[in-house]
């Protein structure tokens, strides 16, 4: 029977495929992804595809459909089973696979799911995803065949490799981990048994209902359980993961959040001791404090667009040893493999903390004092969000503002900077503002609000504005 499939256009995102299960994403979509990516791999001369899935309730059925579609394209499919997204990346690299598909909804609501893909161990995104959609819709796939399938247990090998880069000596840290009922549960259980110190794991059981809280460590409400546990246990720090454990959240020994750009500053200083002059990349949402810290530590800071695939591609282009995003994706390419892995980032951070002469809170307090908002995400229809950015950019250019268009609009004034960009994974706009003074922050908020009003968009709630040390 001839193959032809049309995806819901809202599901084809910049660096993954994502949708609402049963509405904009179905098992037919999953089958088409396996069938079409398998065809792309076959036409490139490849034959092996690694497939994994996260802990969401819909993930097993979607994974089975991916496998079936891939086998129909003649692929030799290697099933990793359930686990974190970075474990799939690791499996693909260790097995030298020709492609990889992870079924994951990441940090999105429980009724969402999606697919992250690799081709020849490189990110599959942007135009490649649009081309996959075109090939599926036109039925431009290889002739039907019957591939093979086998299952591997990569978790022990993955965890052993994580532990290999522990460099904290014998200091016995007390660490609280919040798995958020996400896909890292089983791998995290193996990891904490092999690390020195005392480890308290919250919400370790994988549960796609996410009963404790939503698995997104960039939102302060989702860290309250972790903060309380750090204080109660007098821990050295707390670590949280998102639903598929490619993003990390960190709380210091006092229960204060170490936001991702602050975390990257800490990591960069450590990495640059061994890689003087190396490039460190951060996304447009990151604090100017981070870019200054990298440069002051002897590195070369580079600002780039948000999105894990975009960052990984830029790392390959520049030879960067480290990169990160405000969303909590951290990418090591000094000793690690250049992909975003929250468990690996945690191991490296623990090593740094274990070597400190004082607590992690001292490092946080020593960073320059800034007034800033957290990452503000607010609703805007998928069909409208990119137009809003284009309208704002046009007005800013016409006004002579100092603006960067790397990803959305980042406006610099004497007060500091503000950012507005469209989310690539949700029907939302994303904003962030930073200033050296509270008064400056208020002026920047007013400027951003004025631009949103001109485009008919309600401004976000700035009530959560926080002072960061």
Q: Give dist(CA 438, CA 434) in Å, integer.
A: 9
Angle between helix axes 155-164 and 185-194 (nearest 10 degrees) is: 40
β strands within 30-173, DSSP E: 48-53, 76-82, 99-103, 112-119, 122-123, 149-151
For residues 173 and 93, what is the distance between their CA atoms, to the nearest angstrom? 31
Q: In the chain, what's the furthest Cα-to-Cα distance? A: 67
- Tell me the C-alpha distance between 399 and 349, whole Å: 43
Closest CA to 155 of 250, 87, 218, 241: 87
In the three-class reduction of DSSP (H, G, I as helix; E, B as strand; rest coil), residue 87 is classed as helix
Q: Which residues have C-beta within 8 Å of that of residue 460, sequence separation ≥ 6?
A: 376, 377, 378, 431
Count the helices and strands in the chain (H runs, E runs).
Answer: 14, 23
d(CA 313, CA 430): 22
**Strand-pair partners of 114:** 18
3-state secondary structure of 326: coil
Does 106 qualify as catalytic in the annotation? yes
Selecting among 58, 73, 106, 327, the annotated active-site residue is: 106
| Contact (CB, 8 A) for 225 and 253 | no
CA 259 – CA 124 distance, rounded (Å): 28
Cβ–Cβ contacts within 10 Å for residue 384, how many?
Answer: 15
Q: State the angle between helix axes of 438-454 and 385-399 in degrees (0 to 180), rounded to the nearest 10.
A: 110
d(CA 85, CA 87): 5
178: helix, strand or coil? strand
Q: Would you name the residues annotated as active-site residues?
A: 106
């Amino acid at each position: 029977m001839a193959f032809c499939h049309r995806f819901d256009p809202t599901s084809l995102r910049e660096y993954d495929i994502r949708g609402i299960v049963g509405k904009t994403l179905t098992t037919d979509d999953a089958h088409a992804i396996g069938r079409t990516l398998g065809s792309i791999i076959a036409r490139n001369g490849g034959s092996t595809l690694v497939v994994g899935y996260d802990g969401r309730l819909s993930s097993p059925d979607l994974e089975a459909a991916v496998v079936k579609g891939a086998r129909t394209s003649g692929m030799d499919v290697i099933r990793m089973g359930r686990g974190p997204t970075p474990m799939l990346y690791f499996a693909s690299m260790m097995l030298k696979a020709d492609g990889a598909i992870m079924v994951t909804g990441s940090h999105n609501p429980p009724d969402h799911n999606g697919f992250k893909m690799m081709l020849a161990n490189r990110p599959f995104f942007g135009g490649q995803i649009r081309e996959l959609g075109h090939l599926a819709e036109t039925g431009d796939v290889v002739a039907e065949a019957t591939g093979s399938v086998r299952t591997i247990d990569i978790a022990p090998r993955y965890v052993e490799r994580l532990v290999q880069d522990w460099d904290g000596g014998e200091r016995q840290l007390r660490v609280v981990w919040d798995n958020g009922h996400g896909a890292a549960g089983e791998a995290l259980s193996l990891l904490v048994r092999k690390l020195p110190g005392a480890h308290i794991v919250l919400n370790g059981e994988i549960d796609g209902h996410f009963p404790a809280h939503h698995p997104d460590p960039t939102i302060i409400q989702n860290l309250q359980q972790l903060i309380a546990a750090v204080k109660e246990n007098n821990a050295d720090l707390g670590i949280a993961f998102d639903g598929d454990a490619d993003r990390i959240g960190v709380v210091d020994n006092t229960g204060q959040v170490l936001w991702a750009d602050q975390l990257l500053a800490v990591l960069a200083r450590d990495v640059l001791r061994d890689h003087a002059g190396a490039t460190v990349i951060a996304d447009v949402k990151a604090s100017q404090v981070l870019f200054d810290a990298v440069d002051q530590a002897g590195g070369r800071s580079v600002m780039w667009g948000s999105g894990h695939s975009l960052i990984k591609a830029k790392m390959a282009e520049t030879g960067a040893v480290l990169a990160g995003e405000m969303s909590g994706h951290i990418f090591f390419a000094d000793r690690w493999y250049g992909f975003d892995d929250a468990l690996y980032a945690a191991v490296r951070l623990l090593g740094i903390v274990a070597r400190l002469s004082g607590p992690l809170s001292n490092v946080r307090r020593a960073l320059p004092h800034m007034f800033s908002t957290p990452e503000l995400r607010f609703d805007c229809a998928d069909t409208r969000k990119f137009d809003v950015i284009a309208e704002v950019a046009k007005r800013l250019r016409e006004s002579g503002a100092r603006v960067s268009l790397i990803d959305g609009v980042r406006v610099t004034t004497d007060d500091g900077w503000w950012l507005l960009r469209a989310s690539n994974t949700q029907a939302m706009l994303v904003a962030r503002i930073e200033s050296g003074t509270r008064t400056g922050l208020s002026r920047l908020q007013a400027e951003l609000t004025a631009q949103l009003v001109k485009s008919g968009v309600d401004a976000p709630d700035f009530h959560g504005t926080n002072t960061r040390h």
